A and B are shown apart, each in its own frame.
Chain A
């Protein structure tokens, strides 16, 4: 665990070195053509107006992170082990390609059943940022859609026989240990999330997901009580999820923001 944590910190640190470089080079490119402009600036009066408006840029890149809730839950919940990596890539100003990849091992202890589900899952889709950022802020309040798919196995540990007429006494739990392999499930989810930039390229976010199970390969004579990535199953097809992420933004390129409103305003003056 310590090693993993080390890497988590050292990799972003490594990337931050590149970052400083990347930003500097872009700045020098921008400043270089400005210099001759300032020299010619004197005769042209209109130039000053355009110069004061610095070209606003949006940063595009890849954001990768980890779900801290799943990661830390293993420390206090002995029935749970899990990790989820999250990532998104900015496609346009508002749209982000988003994906989650995870592993879960969860023992569900109900009154009459005790079972363990183990498996991996992948979720992919997009996020739409509804938040209007000021200046160079890069916060997100997103609504998104995902498709999720999980392959997992389930082990029935113990079970009880339900007998409404316990004339012969209630039976003690039966130890089964039967394992059902090769189970799959697919679902759709609506994800609502919030990500805030806390400092340089580091984002903290949380999100809730509403899930709708579309396909579920059930074991014979048992049921999928927990699906990795989908979480607990209910009578219907609904499910809910929650995550708390810390992620790192790797800027890849910048795009100038085209502000058509400003152009309309300036000629009026």
Chain B
């Protein structure tokens, strides 16, 4: 009898430990974003904050949300020294427009650059609940200046072409 009870206990514990793998844990590393860190052009070791940077994907109506808690358009703006932007998982090119000093009263400060990120993709298995993730291998980028206001992102370096995790910098931008 004791044996049967102990078996039932093991059975119950077994079941209770089984249920949680149905929901994808947000802490699981899944499809990573591209992490860009900004540095001072005059002092290459010093991180520099951007000012009201707005990043919009090509042909997208909305910009990338940086501040989830803001209600108005300020949620699209960031003044941090590092940003993470999602890459397309269905094509090998993602194009973004980076507008620094967005909405500034001084129109001469507003500067817009466009960058094409070119990469190869690989779909990698994560788990039953999360399915697959896409990891990227960045091969090249092209910087253009469609608005003709000059480039504000003066130097761009690919530091880590293997985009698998978000806790490391993939691209360094000097301005």
Interface of A is mostly: loop
Docked complex Cα distance between A190 and B133 (Å): 37
- Judged by a CB distance under 8 angstroms, whether B103 is at the interface is no
Which residues of chain B (9-49) have a CB below 8 Å from chain A? 10-11, 14-15, 17-18, 20-21, 24, 26, 30-31, 33
Among A35-43, A59-67, A159-167, the stretch in contact with B: A159-167
Contact among B7, B26, B88 with A164 in the assembled complex (CB-CB below 8 Å): B26
Contact among B14, B33, B125 with A165 in the assembled complex (CB-CB below 8 Å): B33
Q: Residues of B with Cβ closer than 8 Å to A?
A: 3-4, 7, 10-11, 14-15, 17-18, 20-21, 24, 26, 30-31, 33, 57, 60, 64, 85-86, 88-90, 94, 123-134
Nearest-Cβ distance from residue B153 to partner chain A, whole angstroms: 20
Q: Can you report 21 A-B residue pairs in the complex whose CB atoms are below 8 A from each other?
A: A111-B129, A112-B128, A159-B123, A161-B123, A162-B126, A163-B133, A167-B64, A168-B90, A171-B89, A174-B132, A190-B7, A210-B10, A210-B14, A221-B125, A234-B21, A235-B20, A235-B21, A236-B14, A236-B17, A240-B11, A240-B15
- A112 pairs with B17, CB closer than 8 A: no
- B26 pairs with A238, CB closer than 8 A: no
Nearest-Cβ distance from residue A168 to partner chain B, whole angstroms: 5
Docked complex Cα distance between A192 and B11 (Å): 11
Using A143-B3, A236-B17 as known contacts, say yes or no to A167 and B60 having CB atoms under 8 A apart: yes
Contact with B along A172-195 (1 / 0, CB 8 A): 001000000000000000101000
Contact with B along A231-258 (1 / 0, CB 8 A): 0001110101000000000000000000
Contact among A160, A165, A210, A234 with B131 in the assembled complex (CB-CB below 8 Å): A160
B57: chain A residues at CB < 8 Å are 167-168
Nearest-Cβ distance from residue B36 to partner chain A, whole angstroms: 14
- Judged by a CB distance under 8 angstroms, whether A30 is at the interface is no
Nearest-Cβ distance from residue B63 to partner chain A, whole angstroms: 9
- A235 pairs with B4, CB closer than 8 A: no
Q: Residues of A with Cβ closer than 8 Å to B?
A: 110-113, 143, 159-168, 171, 174, 190, 192, 208, 210, 221-223, 225, 234-236, 238, 240
Nearest-Cβ distance from residue B45 to partner chain A, whole angstroms: 30
Docked complex Cα distance between A143 and B7 (Å): 10
Nearest-Cβ distance from residue B148 to partner chain A, whole angstroms: 27
Docked complex Cα distance between A163 and B15 (Å): 29
- A159 pairs with B7, CB closer than 8 A: no
Nearest-Cβ distance from residue A240 to partner chain B, whole angstroms: 7
- B7 pairs with A192, CB closer than 8 A: yes
- A238 pairs with B125, CB closer than 8 A: no
